[in-house]
């Protein structure tokens, strides 16, 4: 039987720094909905590292969901749920409840409508005090863009003109419009940021 598990090399480098932040900002119990789970390696790692939470992975891509499911079968982590098909840009999501949302490395590599949809869904699903946690590279007003991020931005735009590094203030404006306050911006390795919003 073929092995559907995929790997993304960046995950091995960023999963522990991200997990450290998640331990600080996620609730003590409940369900975390991960949007754009990709290979599923983060989902495995975070579900294992946060056994008091249920981890709900998702991705709109069928091959990504097959990879997540293959990792899940191979590793048997009891609090890791079966992946859902969620397109962040969709007006309706097949989820009625979550206690936190996590979205890693999607906002720059999807059309802006995905960010708008993510924020709208976060506004519908989360209640006061619950967090929305983003991770990825951003542009920031008043900060010179790092050369590696400038090159990445150009490459993304070449691949798809609707992609590219977003201005953090614009993402924060979307979040604010859906009832979220910007709580923390944490500098991460390789010029990435973890951005924590919390529902007012």
Ligand X SMILES: C[S@@+](CC[C@H](N)C(=O)[O-])C[C@H]1O[C@@H](n2cnc3c(N)ncnc32)[C@H](O)[C@@H]1O
Q: Which residue has the tokens 């909905």?
A: 33
Considering only 32-40, 48-56, 119-127, 184-192, which stretch makes contact with ligand X by CB under 6 A? 32-40
Q: Which among 45, 39, 22, 55 is positioned nearest to 188, based on CA atoms? A: 22
**Minimum distance from residue 50 beta carbon to ligand X (Å):** 16
Which of 104, 120, 171, 195 touches ligand X (CB under 6 A)? 104
Question: What is the distance, to the nearest Å, from the Cα of residue 130 to the centroid of all Cα atoms in its chain?
Answer: 15
Which residue, 141 or 187, has its beta carbon nearer to ligand X? Answer: 187
CB 132 within 8 A of CB 197: yes
The residue written with tokens 């007003």 in the block is 141
Q: Is 61 in the site for ligand X (CB under 6 A)?
A: yes
The nearest distance, CB 38 to ligand X, in angstroms, is 2
Among 36, 47, 125, 171, binds ligand X (CB under 6 A): 36
Among 35, 68, 77, 133, binds ligand X (CB under 6 A): 35
Q: Are 189 and 13 in contact (CB under 8 A)?
A: yes
Sign of dihedral through CA atoms 106, 108, 109, 110? Answer: positive
Round to whole Å and give the CA distance between 15 and 183. Answer: 21
Site string for ligand X, 110-139 (x = CB under 6 A): x---x-------------------------
Q: Which of 87, 116, 170, 176 binds ligand X (CB under 6 A)?
A: 87
Binding segment for ligand X (CB under 6 A), chosen from 36-44, 73-81, 137-145, 191-199, is 36-44
CB 158 within 8 A of CB 98: no
Structure-token pair, residue 55: 């981890």
Neighbours of 186 (CB within 10 A): 17
Give me the residues that bind ligand X (CB under 6 A), please. 8, 11, 35-39, 42, 59-61, 64, 86-89, 104-106, 109-110, 114
């Amino acid at each position: 039987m073929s092995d559907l598990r995929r790997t993304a090399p960046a995950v091995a480098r960023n999963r522990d720094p991200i997990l450290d932040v998640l331990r600080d900002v996620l609730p003590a119990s409940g369900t975390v909905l991960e949007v754009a789970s990709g290979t599923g390696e983060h989902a495995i790692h975070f579900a294992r590292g946060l056994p008091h939470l249920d981890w709900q992975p998702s991705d709109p891509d069928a091959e990504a969901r097959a990879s997540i499911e293959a990792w899940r079968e191979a590793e048997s982590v009891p609090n890791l749920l079966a992946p859902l098909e969620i397109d962040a840009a969709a007006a309706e999501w097949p989820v009625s409840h979550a206690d936190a949302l996590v979205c890693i490395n999607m906002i720059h590599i999807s059309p802006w409508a995905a960010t708008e949809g993510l924020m709208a869904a976060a506004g519908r699903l989360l209640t006061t005090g619950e967090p929305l946690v983003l991770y990825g590279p951003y542009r920031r007003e008043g900060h010179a863009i790092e050369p590696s991020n400038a090159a990445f931005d150009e490459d993304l735009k070449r691949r798809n003109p609707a992609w590219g590094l977003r201005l953090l203030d614009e993402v924060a404006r979307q979040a604010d419009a859906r009832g979220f306050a910007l709580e923390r911006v944490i500098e991460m390795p390789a010029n990435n940021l973890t951005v924590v919003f919390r529902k007012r």
